[in-house]
Structure 1
Amino acid sequence: MRDHYNLEKLIKILPVLARTAGGYATITDSEGRRLCTFDWNGTEIKDLDNQIYDLARNAGQQACPLIGVSQIVDQADAWALPIGEYVLACSNVERLIKEQKFQDALIKALPMIAQVAGGEAVIFNDLGERLLSYYSNGSERHQLKGQVSKQARQAMVSQEPVVGKSFSINGAMAVRIPITEKIGFGFNNENAVRQHQKLYDEVKKFQNAKYCFEDIIGESEVLTKTKSMAKFVADGVSSILIYGETGTGKELFAQSIHNASDRRYRSFVALNCGALPASLIESNLFGYEEGAFTGAKKGGSPGAFEQANGGTIFLDEISEMDISLQTKLLRVLQEREVVRVGGFKAQKIDVRVIASTNKELNDLIADGGFRQDLFYRLNVVQLKIPPLRERVGDIGLLAKHFMHKFSFSFGRLVEDIDPRTLKLLQNHAWPGNVRELQNCIESAMNMVREESTLLPEHLPLYLRQGQKTLKESVIVEIGNEELNLKEALSGAEKLIIQKALEMAKFKKVKAARILGISTATLWRKLTEYGMEGDNQ
């Protein structure tokens, strides 16, 4: 009679327990045989009577509470509790069903979320793995499906929203929000960033200076001091001469100085003095009148100084300028006026001059290759850009910056750099400096498949295996007492170029990429060393 009373009492509890738990509640005997079962709506499910519930049977046999899974609905959690000769069991099926309905609704709403948020909207699982994503225009994005985001994983583990940088576009921010323990979603402000960048580019279109000091990546002491000095002199009017090896970012500094000055809303005009012959440099610098030479445009054309009036002119590779043009340039700087080729009328100009060189101008002056008075005009403020080998600590920051840049372009989610890869990068001499590093990371990103970490095998072969060969190629035998430092350096440079040509199978564009220099610079050096005919 006592047992019958207990069973009736337990059966009365089942509807309340099922509703509270949001699932099924059942009472079984000690063998796990279902005696009575209710769902979360309070309805008795007689079809389940006498069925064996394994979790309840195990709990009855072990005489202890157990946690397991529902035998009615897959993936639903359940528990079983022995009470005398019976076992009370309950599951959370309704919660699972509600979660699935919510997930279905979220998937349906994802394109709308993307549109309202103005960017990409993503659903991810408990591992941070992308399950589904949409652009703001309603189209599904397939490139990064299956990729794992560390920040999404962090949000799921902590069950707290995580805000951080978006992986889709540089400058965008994203939020990752856990919805349940198994699913979360995120979105970014990609559209706003793109629109802002487009507006910024429109403002900069006429002056062609898109970089600011914030774009110069690095935290090393030597770079920080250089940036501080550049910022300090940016508001001045004096000419600036920037020294730096090929690929160190001399134009990046020139543009940043312009954009930090009062002239930032006026034109920024850049001219590479080593890329064109003297005749073309002259007409590009000073402009020309109609009929000045064969092929001259009707009405003539303004030169770089006229185009930069009120703004800044950047003369890259000033050391390569022909000596006759140096004389004309000196006059422009002294008189602050320019006369077009084939013309007679002088036009007043207000232009700040920033020049750059990768050569020591004092040596050129001593050899008669550069005017000393022009040097004094240009070298009012001297700025030296440190080579990458002098700021090894910045290599990791730069590599990650380029890696994230190319990750979006290539649709590959690569978030980390393997320590072995970083060591290889830090041990390299980087004769082509930051430009060479950027080319190296771009090459490596082309080799990535499903990996989320940049590995040594992704790096270019010359970086992994060619270091010893390149080092051997710069050994110069100094057996002649008359061989000076300049000749030794020239010999070493010639050997390095020869080795790069061999590694590139004498393809000039590829050799220039290996050296981290422009093709025009390579051709100039080949001509200088009498190597322009090297093809075997």
Structure 2
Amino acid sequence: MSGLLECLLQALLPIARITGGYATITDREGVRIRTVDSAGREVQTLKGKIYNLAREAGQSGKMSVGPSQITEGAEAWCLPLGDYVLAASNFERLKCEEELAESLKQALPFIARVAGGEAVLFNEEGRRIASVGVDGRNNTNYIGKVSIAAQQAIQSQRPVIGESISGMGAVAVRIPITRKFGFGFNNEQGVLRQRKLLEEVKKFQYARYNFTDIIGASEAIEKMKSRAAFVANGISSIIISGETGTGKELFAQSIHNASERRSKPFIAINCGALPESLIESCFFGYEEGAFTGAKKKGSPGAFEQANGGTIFLDEISEMDFNLQSKLLRVLQEREVTRIGGGEPLRVDVRVIASTNRDLVEMIHNGTFRNDLYYRLNVVELKIPALRERLEDIPALVKVFINEFNNLLGKYVTGISDRAIYQLCRYQWPGNIRELKNCIEYIMNIVSINENTIELSHLPQYIHSALSQSREEKYFGTLAEAVAVAERESIIGTLKHTGGAKREAAKLLGVSTTTLWRKIVELGIETNISIR
């Protein structure tokens, strides 16, 4: 063996490793003497085979560069050295890249699901060679589309973030993997969900309810309805406070419909349901080009849409602290400036806000601006909890039974005294909303041939709560004697008035609320029917 051949054979392994493929020694005719892979293993199947590119180099005496003879797409070079030709290709590197690309292709459905949008694989031209939607299905319509940003990612070999070409307002990331391909994903579905959320939050663009829709004749609710109706025609801001489920939006809509603004828009915005990234543009609107995905000619915000009417800011306590200062300026100056705009727009809007939290406590904790609180809290309406107006439960139950009769095709005509008594003893932490859900549950389990709600139909959580309350309650001898006397007096008076509670309360010298509370506490059954 000549010294040159021995030297070339020793060089095959490092050359194969560096080039990422096969390294070969041939004679001048291109006949392979030895071929090794990047691990140093000799490829016996190629021994004695003719390598055309090596033969060209051997005959011309010049170095040749061209396609690999083994794998399409791989490249090779051949260098003539005396009686031999040294050749190498990037066959294995190409194979590794192909396997990596295939692996990424299989991962696209998972990437799409996590990112909340389309996931793609693109080539060196920025052309999509695979595309999968958030549902895991292949987007064949998008195959072949070229992205300039994807091209830039391949050329610069750096990730590129920018606007998606498949969804307005969506942001896409393009990441180069090799010089040949890369992958990308966008948040198209996330943007769509945010838009749907925005539409959901803003879907009630008119006031449907009036004070007559607020059910109840208790002193507490009548007093609140009277006060709300009295301030309805004013222009001052109103804060409606109360626990969750007490009907704060019902009051807001009723105030609007009782005011001179009734023919103008009523715009309701749930401050707690909107993400921080959307709420400012929702409030104040934006100009064209203000941000990626902004509509042409821009979009008016809620204050512009409510011009001349009323804007209802539900869950005002959940508003971002920084946004509170911008809202304060709108209330003070009576003008708004769109995002990306320069000229302020005058607006005539009455603001009604609601909260189920203690704003004064939030001010002390530094999470709500005191100047905004005093600007909003010109008039405060505190909606009573359902446990503070127990005498309204029968009327509410009657309304809900009728509603679900129509929805569920049932024929319930009443509720037993024992059942209504238990409903009146329960504390209702979820207020009217919880009561309505309770009746809906009952109406679902009542059979088609039952026309009366019985004690057995009540949800188990109510039985459990009342059982625990009864176990904790204890009366001494004096209390028992007083209770017996009160019970007899109330029963006698109710018989005298024919069950009319207001008249009975006057005769007993107590308020209707006190009388009803005593009826509940003493277990006095009354005839309550929706017939």
State the TM-score, normalized to the length of structure 2: 0.49
Which has the higher Rg, Structure 1 or Structure 2? 2
